[in-house]
Amino acid sequence: MTSLTLKRLSVFALPLATFAALSTAAQAQEWTPTRSIEFVAPANPGGGWDTLVRTVSRVIQQEGLADENFAAINVPGGGGAVAWAQIARDSGNPHKLFATSPPLILVPLAGASRYDHTDFTPVARLITDYSIILVPADSEYETINDLMTALEANPNLSVGGGSAPGSMDHISVAGLASAAGLDASSVNYIPFSGGGDAMTNLMGGHIEAVVTGAGEAVGQLGEGSQIRALGVSAPERIGGGLADVPTYQEQDIDYTFDIWRGVMGTPDMPAEAVAYYEDLFAEMLETDAWRDASEQLGWINAYQNSEEFGAFLDGQQEQFSDVLSELGLLRQ
């Protein structure tokens, strides 16, 4: 074979290889669901995960963004650990997603789950929410400082939340107490299986207050409500249905706490499925229906794609390890 022939072959080989690579990439991007997507909220109805799952599912359907339905499924227990164990056994399933937030980092660090974020596939971070402290409408506590003073005077008084000990709600109220001058480890935090259960116990008089996500509380506040908000962990007041709720900082407690929320997939979810969901959620965040829902719930868009979200989760694990260590809750 002559050198001229070799040169001609090499000239044609590159475009063919490039074409093959482009064809493979195109096929990866063309994946779409072939049946309904199971969208898991790892808690009972009424909590932050449930609110995210149902809001996302509704907006996607309302805007016609996907051909298949997103079916909301509640799997409560263990502050998320029961659902994570089930999902971990469904490796590679591209038709199963779950809502996530700081408990995916905190619960394993506290030793309450054998699975952590590294066992699953990051899909996208969607929003940032904030914590809010709620009391019954007829409570004697008028401000967040009233509640902190009572907790300091009587350590037996309890604050409930919808996540496990050492998890999101606990860390939020412990940090608040510390910023208010209390010993964070002295807070009598009572965990419930979800925000809905915590609210039931609040109204039953079994706990003094509830710490929960602002987004999941907004629908229960307002004129004639049986509950009242003492403060929110945002750096400034939230709009929508929470415009009248003062921040902790307004009440001279220099403390903020944000609750990121996103979506994860099964272990080893195919890359083409991840790419599909990344694009779907990015498109969803730009819709009018999502903007309206976010404004009402006090959510702030904070989109990250799969790679960015994964790196963010690694950073959160390092940060929360330090917090739990200070509280004496880090698994050794």
Q: Give dist(CA 197, CA 91) in Å, integer.
A: 31
Q: Do 197 and 44 touch, CB atoms closer than 8 A?
A: yes
More confident residue, 1 or 324: 324
Q: Which range is most confident: 11-25, 82-96, 104-118, 178-192?
A: 82-96
Topology alike, domains 37-128+259-327 and 130-257: yes
What pLDDT is attached to residue 151?
96
57-71, 256-270, 315-329: least confidently modelled range:
315-329
Q: Give dist(CA 22, CA 6) in Å, integer.
A: 25
Task: Calculate mean pLDDT across residues 216-222.
Answer: 82
Q: Look over the chain and give the mean of its residue pLDDT values, rounded to a whole number.
A: 88
Ordered by start, the domain boundaries in the chain are 37-128+259-327, 130-257
Residue with tokens 């709600």: 169
What pLDDT is attached to residue 332?
66
Instruction: State the helix-helix crossing angle for 168-179 and 306-327, rounded to 10 degrees.
Output: 60
Residue with tokens 């790679």: 307
More confident residue, 123 or 330: 123
Q: Do 214 and 205 touch, CB atoms closer than 8 A?
A: no
DSSP letter for each residue of 226-266? SEEEEEE-SSS---GGGTTPPBTGGGT-----EEEEEEEE-
Question: What is the percent of the chain where pLDDT is above 70?
Answer: 91
Band (pLDDT 50/70/90 cuts) for residue 23 is very low
Look at residue 20 and tell me whether its pLDDT is greater than 50.
no
Please classify residue 204 by burial: count the beta carbons closer than 10 Å to its beta carbon, then call 0-12 exposed, 13-18 middle and 19+ buried.
Answer: exposed
37-46, 93-102, 217-226: least confidently modelled range:
217-226
Look at residue 57 and tell me whether its pLDDT is greater than 60.
yes
Look at residue 125 and tell me whether its pLDDT is greater than 60.
yes
Please classify residue 237 by burial: count the beta carbons closer than 10 Å to its beta carbon, then call 0-12 exposed, 13-18 middle and 19+ buried.
Answer: middle
Please classify residue 67 by burial: count the beta carbons closer than 10 Å to its beta carbon, then call 0-12 exposed, 13-18 middle and 19+ buried.
Answer: exposed
Main-chain dihedrals φ then ψ at residue 174, nearest 5 degrees: -65, -40
E strand residue ranges, 150-307: 158-161, 188-191, 209-213, 227-232, 258-265, 300-304
Architecture of domain 37-128+259-327: 3-Layer(aba) Sandwich (3.40)
Provide the pairing of β-strand 70-74 with 158-161. unpaired
Contacts of 25 (CB under 8 A, 6+ apart): none
Look at residue 223 and tell me whether its pLDDT is greater than 90.
no
Collapsed DSSP state (helix, strand, coil) of residue 71: strand
Look at residue 21 and tell me whether its pLDDT is greater than 50.
no
Residue with tokens 């591209």: 94
pLDDT tens sequence across 273-331: 999 999 999 999 999 999 999 988 888 999 999 999 999 999 989 888 877 887 788 88
Look at residue 59 and tell me whether its pLDDT is greater than 90.
yes
Collapsed DSSP state (helix, strand, coil) of residue 275: helix
Max CA distance (Å), the chain: 95
Secondary-structure class of domain 130-257 per CATH: alpha beta
Q: Give dist(CA 204, CA 201) in Å, integer.
A: 5
Look at residue 97 and tell me whether its pLDDT is greater than 90.
yes
Distances (CA, A) of 106 to 18, 45, 312, 327: 45, 21, 14, 12
- What the block records as the tokens of 111 is 């030793």
What pLDDT is attached to residue 29?
54
CA 291 from chain center: how many Å?
18
Band (pLDDT 50/70/90 cuts) for residue 12 is very low
Look at residue 2 and tell me whether its pLDDT is greater than 60.
no
148-152, 183-187, 202-206: least confidently modelled range:
183-187
Collapsed DSSP state (helix, strand, coil) of residue 270: coil
